[in-house]
Amino acid sequence: MSSSVITITKENFDTEVIRSEIPVLVDFWAAWCGPCRMVAPVVDEIAKDYEGKVKVGKINVDEQNELAEKFRIVSIPTLMVFKNGQIAESVMGARSKESIAQMLDKHL
């Protein structure tokens, strides 16, 4: 995980996501999930490409099951874009870098 990707927990969720001044891409994932491992390097690249414009965070659903339940995560990976503390967009499954970039560009 690159240094520009934040590990999000229930303790820092409010500060890092809800109160963020810029849009936040949240990746709900788990270590045992094959598609999550495929999308992880793409999420790291997005974090570098969008540094300063978008905050990127990852939530391990096994460690943060309260957050997974709160956002009704039934399939992983799930990528959510939060803007002004609200879910602006949500997609399930592994996505290409181009697909994620297009999703983020809509919310900048």
8 A C-beta contact, residue 29 and residue 56: no
Q: Which of 5, 6, 8, 36 is catalytic?
A: 36
* Residue 106: active-site member: no
CA distance 67 to 100: 22
Q: Which of 33, 40, 54, 81 is catalytic?
A: 33
8 A C-beta contact, residue 80 and residue 92: no
* Residue 76: active-site member: no
Q: Can you count the helices (H) and strands (E) in the chain?
A: 4, 5
Which residues are catalytic, by number? 33, 36
